[in-house]
Chain A
Amino acid sequence: MVYAPEESREMKLLLKKISLPLAEFSLNLDVEIQNQVTAIFGPSGAGKTSLLDLIVGLRHPKSAFIQLGERILTDTAGRVHVPTRHRQIGYVPQDLALFPHLSVQQNLLYGCKGTGASDSLFRYDHVTEVLEIQPLTNRRVTNLSGGEKQRVALARALLASPQLLLLDEPLASLDTVLKSKIIPYLARIRDEFHIPMLYVTHDWDEVQALCAEALIMERGQIVRREAI
């Protein structure tokens, strides 16, 4: 079944007065992000994953004001901290974190909310069709290939109907051949679901293939922004 895409979702993510002490330096940011797919580009250890953890509410900063659309997610001054489970932010970590004791289908349904008409884009059959994982649903996640695991992790995050999708180096563990197979799926997510994405990577080719803008990050700071 083919669904007409909903109107494009505009993301406005405000990251203000961010201060999060890390092991060797502090994450310090003051940035506004509006593009649909924005890359966070930088070397390993620059604080990229910590930034995603902060946005999704898994880390408690010294100070921060985080707003997604109209919703304030974190405001240390106002003592606001929306719990992770209520943030409606999909997160695909670098190690994918598929639940190893559950089948592919159980993983997909874990956070699935896409049953209502208003969420037609995030319906189970649509998401599994776009990512071509319908033949995998009865398998155990431990028996999947790297590329299949990647698609299942993406689908699981999408099925929770997120307002923002965080992707932490989703292709880092794949070889060049697999990368070239997965990138079109990411492009389909971008084009069919119109969901705002933050895409962490240290591969400039991925940035060029998928993103509209890149925030270059070094030692916890955004050192420059580049339009792609």
Chain B
Amino acid sequence: MTATEWQLLWFTALVSAVSTFLILPFGLLTAWLLARHEWPGKSIVETLVSLPLVMPPVATGLILLKILGERGAVGGFFYRHFNTDIAFTWRGVLIALAVMSFPLLVRSTRVAFEQVNPRLEQIARTLGASNARVFWTITLPLASHGVIGGMLLAFARALGEFGATIMVAGYITGKTATLSTEIYHSFNNGEDAHAYRLLGMSVALAFIAVWSSEWFMRRKKVAK
């Protein structure tokens, strides 16, 4: 393993972990709203949330590029007001990973929330608890294994993300290159040994993340 490969591994793991924590509050809120409430437009939101799962990742990446590029609505705003680029920087990588892994977090967390017996939440309210207290003291602890499992799944998805990342952040060594984009680039350039070492690292990381996720999901403490 070379220093560059360790740096790649560290950058990919870090940006995947940060993106997972970045989407956590939004994921929890979305999953809770979908699991516990009926509201107009719910099916539209459900569909939108799941879209990145089924759309070609490069298509999602292209949409993100249009939004986050210097001429895009969000990217243009940040460039004009903060002189900050999003596309083709580590920020672009972060957002691409966040968008691509969001559906997995929401789906796992939603299932975990749905499996918490609503009667427990109702009884907590009869004991004087506010909605926020019910969520933090009853719903979330009882769904915690599913939530952690979902986070690990989202992290694993982020680790392997390629299509959206290459569109939004490109491949810039030492700046935006991740394990997957580096494997692609190395293999195309005939650096097979380098590519296979990175492949081994990817498989090991993904295996650990998915195995841990499954383990947490199986151990979930669900009150029926």
Interface residues of A (CB under 8 A from B): 56, 58, 83-91, 93, 95, 97, 99-101, 110-111, 113, 156-157, 160
Question: Which residues of B from 110 to 152 have beta carbons under 8 Å from A?
Answer: 117, 119-120, 122-130, 137-138, 141-142
Chain B residue at minimum C-beta to C-beta distance from A113:
B128
Which single member of B119, B137, B141 contacts A97 (CB below 8 Å)? B119
Residues of A within 8 A of B125 (CB): 58, 83-85
Q: Report the Cα distance A87→B122, complex, angstroms.
A: 13
Asked whether B130 lies within 8 Å of A84 as measured between CB atoms, the reply is: no
Chain B CB count within 10 A is highest, among A89, A95, A156, for: A95
- Closest B-chain residue to A110, C-beta based? B127
Of the listed residues B122, B123, B124, the one surrounded by the most CB atoms of chain A closer than 10 A to its CB is: B123
- The answer to whether A85 and B221 have CB atoms under 8 Å apart is no
Q: Are A58 and B128 in contact (CB under 8 A)?
A: no
Q: Check A95–B119 contact: CB distance below 8 A.
A: yes
CB–CB A84/B142 < 8 A: no
With contact pairs A97-B119, A97-B120 given, residues A91 and B126 touching in the complex (Cβ less than 8 Å) = yes
Are the C-beta atoms of A156 and B122 separated by less than 8 Å?
Answer: no
Select B128's contact among A97, A99, A111, beta carbons within 8 Å.
Answer: A111
B residues in contact with A58, CB < 8 Å: 122, 125
The number of chain B residues touching the other chain, given as a range, is 10 to 19
The verdict on B172 contacting chain A, using a C-beta distance below 8 Å, is no
- Could you name 7 residue pairs across A and B whose Cβ atoms are closer than 8 Å? A100-B142, A101-B142, A110-B127, A111-B126, A111-B128, A156-B127, A157-B126
B223: A residues at CB distance < 8 A: 99-101
Give min CB distance, A200 to chain B, whole Å. 15
Q: Is the CB of B128 within 8 A of A101?
A: no
CB-contact partner of A93 in B123, B137, B138, B142, under 8 A: B123
Bound complex: CA of A205 vs CA of B177, how far in Å?
75
- Contact A87 B221, CB 8 Å, known A99-B120, A101-B141: no
Given A84-B125, A97-B117, A110-B129, output 6 extra A-B contacts at Cβ < 8 Å. A84-B126, A85-B129, A101-B223, A110-B137, A111-B124, A111-B126
The residue on B at minimum CB distance from A159 is: B127
Do A97 and B123 touch (CB < 8 A)?
yes
CB-CB under 8 A from B141, the residues of chain A are 101
Q: How far is A90 from B126 in the complex, measured between Cα atoms in Å?
A: 6
Most B CB contacts (10 A, CB to CB) among A83, A85, A93 go to: A85
